[in-house]
A and B are shown apart, each in its own frame.
Chain A
Amino acid sequence: MMSGTSRQLPDDPIAITGMGVLSPIGQSIEAFWSGLISGVSGITTIERFPTHDLRVRRGGEVKQLRGTQGFERPLPACRASQFLIHAATEATRMARLPEAVAAGGRVAVVIGSALGGIAEAERWHEQPGALHALAGAPYDGPTRQLARWLDATGPVLTISTACASGATSLGVGADLLRAGAATAVVAGGMDVLCRFVMRGFNSLRSLTRDEVRPFDRRRKGLLLGEGAGVVVLERAETARQRGITPCGYLLGHASCADGAHITAPDPQGRGLEQSIRLALANAGVRSEEIEFISAHGTGTPLNDRMETQVFKKVLGLHAYEVPVNSIKAHMGHTMGAAATLETIMCLLAWRYGQVPPTLNYGEPDPECDLPYVTGQARTYRPRLSLNTAAGFGGCNACLVLAGGE
């Protein structure tokens, strides 16, 4: 069997040449990684808006946006746009994207979000002001702000597959590159905490008063978080010509439907299974070559059980050999940002040879019996990773990733 680590990559794959992060546990790649590896929790009492009437008042809140002093222009007022710009600035610097633009490159922007600019609508409702402030409230408002900030010239797309958006956006970005519609794509996901989403999840009673405990027998639900993850995608040949060493590669992707329920995942996981199978086929990778799985792992009883079943169905006995983790307990479920942040985590695990732990895990669940990485970070260097995501409306997505050179 050819291991993922030793396999050759296909000709001219989609390279990830830059990465940027804004999260409750760190506002740069290095801080994010440090927080993941050392098991930092970004879960705190939410302070930015009233929560007195909610059952659960905690979440992964970004307390203060740092590192914006060096920006040449003032940031837009929209918090979601600020998050995106912050993360994109780090990613585009890493990819030396301004050089590519100066050389005539066409930059596209593809952003996924579960909430878009809804916090702007909420703000406008609380303090009605100029109507143009509502222009940022649609789902595509923050994406447009980012495109203006970057002086993009190519396609500018906003996509939503609910909490799987941060994976689907990377896939659509790869499609744009293969279609020749852009030479580089700034892709990722973002969402911000606001009363809208807290009230919604409060009404569904899916938030836990306990800790988030992915795959643990005691798991009772999720907590929400906020953040942004952004990557720069280019064809590997383009990156090579520019002298950029890729952080990793996006080998395959797929997003598929459950067709089962408006909020809950399909107990059989049909959409997730189809997503994984299609993504592997896209990548030309066999399931036994996968070396690590970054699971959606929300900590809800149904999701974690369903995901475990699907991994076993697709990977067979190999599933019992592949380390699995979830980083939702570190910072809550960051919704549209989650899958992009997890993609970045996969590539950093390859770079640094460590896999971050699944926090708050203590009691095994007989129905969740895979080799989860728990307790402390594990020394392990996975080249080929699966990143899975799911969301409202029966949305599922999967990415097949490879570490860089």
Chain B
Amino acid sequence: MGQEAHGAYAPQAGGVAVRGWGLLTGWGTGLQSLPTLPAVATHGRRLLPVAPPELASERLRRATRECLLGVAAVQAALDHSCLAPHEVAGARTALVYASASSYAAANWTFVTSESENALHFPYTAPSAVPAEVTIQFGITGPYLTLLSGANAGIEALWQAATLLTTAQCDRVLVLGVETFQECVELYTAGRWLLGTPLLEAAACLVLERHPSLAAVRYHAEWGTGGLARVVARERERALGRVYLCTPTARAEQMAGHYLQAHWPDMPLVLLQERLGICLACAPLIALMLAVTAGQPDDVLLISQWWDAWAMVRWPESPSQAGHQSKQGPSV
């Protein structure tokens, strides 16, 4: 090896802790707004939209609803984490953004409009949501957007852990936004509205390095038998609970049956049944639920999108790594 150390790629000791979070969904604000029996609580509604948050900012007057939701979720996460906005400004805070759908409205409106608009076009880019967040909070650290459908949430958690454990930053905001309302005719045509309700959501986790936690582990499989390979790989190691995040009710049913048959003693949380369809936000909400539950063992977050399965194993006792929120646990 050369004279110079192979610097920041050398992993730092320890893992990643959840410091706090912010959550806005069609059910309301925070984890405490999530219903006990979603199927009953929907009252037949197939889309649970989120109203645009009222943000006192002249700068954001042209921003799209998904951008406003992203900014509001980050603000809520900072509040929950007892962090002032100036503490995340600068190069030591990273933003990792995940979405499967939030750009669709701006894209589709631009495609179908007769005339182009210089104020509209920039918001067709998926980077518009994280851009408004970085501008609002002055973030100039590591920054990327993952758009791998519903698996993007899992990938964002892994990327955040990578950025932290390679010391590229001190803190990561993992943000997911999913909106459906402006494109509802497309989702109707795609028969997405026939099953579990579509749940609009903006979810943000504040993650920090934690020296005494084990590393976050990521794995993904593409193709037939992907879930079986994930199970075969993980079932030999101690695990507290599995959170399953699938994009359709049928996929959840099939995967749920498989997990119950091949991993019969493993507690299983079906995110879609619990919340509705919120795609890339589902794993982020699952991690919030896991931290709140204070699992004594690792938890496994599994998501699926088309032929791809992705998972992260989050280390044990995540709640001990958190801090004393000024709001207390939001459940």
Which A residues are within 8 Å of any B CB, using their own CB?
2, 7-11, 108-109, 114, 116, 118, 121-122, 125, 131, 134, 138-140, 143-144, 147-148, 151-162, 168, 172, 175, 178-179, 181, 196, 199-205, 252, 254-263, 270-271, 274, 278, 281-286, 391-396
Interface contact A393-B142, CB-CB below 8 Å = no
Interface contact B118-A203, CB-CB below 8 Å = yes
Q: Does B206 contact A (CB under 8 A)?
A: no
| Other-chain contact of A159, B89, B103, B125, B147 (Cβ < 8 Å) | B147
| Other-chain contact of A134, B131, B134, B186 (Cβ < 8 Å) | B186
In the complex, what's the smallest C-beta–C-beta distance from A212 to chain B, in angstroms?
20
Chain A residues with Cβ under 8 A from B186's Cβ? 134
In the complex, what's the smallest C-beta–C-beta distance from A143 to chain B, in angstroms?
7
Interface contact B218-A181, CB-CB below 8 Å = yes
Interface contact A152-B131, CB-CB below 8 Å = no
Interface contact B131-A394, CB-CB below 8 Å = yes
In the complex, what's the smallest C-beta–C-beta distance from B142 to chain A, in angstroms?
6
Q: How many residues of B contact A (CB 8 A)?
A: 72
Decide yes or no: A259 and B138 within 8 Å by CB, A116-B147, A160-B145 being known contacts: yes
| Other-chain contact of A156, B89, B218, B220 (Cβ < 8 Å) | B220
Tell me the complex Cα distance, A307–B1, Å. Answer: 32
Interface contact B222-A282, CB-CB below 8 Å = no
Q: Give per-residue flags for B90-122: 1 if the beta carbon is below 8 A from chain A beta carbons, else 0.
A: 010001000010011001101110001110111
Interface contact B116-A199, CB-CB below 8 Å = yes
Decide yes or no: A256 and B142 within 8 Å by CB, A121-B111, A156-B148, A179-B162 being known contacts: yes
**Residue in chain A with minimal CB distance to B129:** A393
Interface contact B91-A256, CB-CB below 8 Å = yes
Q: Does B179 contact A (CB under 8 A)?
A: no
**Residue in chain A with minimal CB distance to B147:** A139
A–B pairs, 23, beta carbons within 8 Å: A2-B3, A116-B147, A118-B107, A134-B186, A138-B147, A138-B149, A155-B218, A155-B220, A156-B220, A156-B307, A161-B145, A255-B142, A259-B137, A259-B139, A259-B140, A262-B128, A271-B143, A274-B141, A278-B8, A283-B7, A392-B125, A393-B127, A394-B127
Of A8, A11, A134, A257, most buried by chain B (CB within 10 Å of CB) is A257
Chain A residues with Cβ under 8 A from B138's Cβ? 259
Main secondary structure on chain A at its contact with chain B?
mixed
| Other-chain contact of B127, A9, A143, A157, A160 (Cβ < 8 Å) | A160
Chain A residues with Cβ under 8 A from B189's Cβ? 131
**Residue in chain B with minimal CB distance to A289:** B4
Tell me the complex Cα distance, A281–B221, Å. Answer: 31
| Other-chain contact of B111, A118, A152, A285 (Cβ < 8 Å) | A118
In the complex, what's the smallest C-beta–C-beta distance from A53 to chain B, in angstroms?
9
**Residue in chain B with minimal CB distance to A174:** B9
Chain A residues with Cβ under 8 A from B254's Cβ? none
Tell me the complex Cα distance, A114–B145, Å. Answer: 11
**Residue in chain B with minimal CB distance to A125:** B111
* Count of A-B contacts judged by CB separation below 8 Å: 211
Decide yes or no: A10 and B168 within 8 Å by CB, A140-B147, A200-B121, A274-B141 being known contacts: no
Tell me the complex Cα distance, A2–B190, Å. Answer: 60
Chain B residues with Cβ under 8 A from A394's Cβ? 127, 131, 134-135, 143
Interface contact A154-B222, CB-CB below 8 Å = yes
Which B residues are within 8 Å of any A CB, using their own CB?
1-9, 89, 91, 95, 100, 103-104, 107-108, 110-112, 116-118, 120-128, 130-132, 134-135, 137-149, 151-152, 155, 158-159, 162, 166, 168, 186, 189-190, 218-223, 305-308, 310
**Residue in chain B with minimal CB distance to A255:** B144
Interface contact B2-A10, CB-CB below 8 Å = yes
Interface contact B142-A278, CB-CB below 8 Å = yes
Interface contact B140-A153, CB-CB below 8 Å = no
| Other-chain contact of A157, B6, B107, B146, B166 (Cβ < 8 Å) | B146
Chain A residues with Cβ under 8 A from B8's Cβ? 278, 281-282
Tell me the complex Cα distance, A182–B305, Å. Answer: 19
Decide yes or no: A257 and B141 within 8 Å by CB, A203-B117, A284-B4, A395-B127 being known contacts: yes
Tell me the complex Cα distance, A134–B104, Å. Answer: 12
Chain A residues with Cβ under 8 A from B132's Cβ? 262
Decide yes or no: A156 and B222 within 8 Å by CB, A138-B100, A282-B9 being known contacts: yes
In the complex, what's the smallest C-beta–C-beta distance from A131 to chain B, in angstroms?
6
Decide yes or no: A258 and B6 within 8 Å by CB, A161-B127, A392-B127 being known contacts: no
Tell me the complex Cα distance, A160–B91, Å. Answer: 20
Tell me the complex Cα distance, A201–B3, Å. Answer: 47
Interface contact A393-B128, CB-CB below 8 Å = yes
Interface contact B134-A257, CB-CB below 8 Å = yes
- Given contact pairs A153-B221, A256-B91, A282-B168, enumerate 12 new A-B contacts (beta carbons under 8 Å): A8-B1, A108-B220, A140-B147, A156-B307, A162-B125, A256-B142, A257-B140, A262-B132, A282-B166, A284-B4, A392-B131, A393-B128
Chain A residues with Cβ under 8 A from B219's Cβ? 181
Tell me the complex Cα distance, A160–B102, Å. Answer: 13
**Residue in chain A with minimal CB distance to B9:** A282
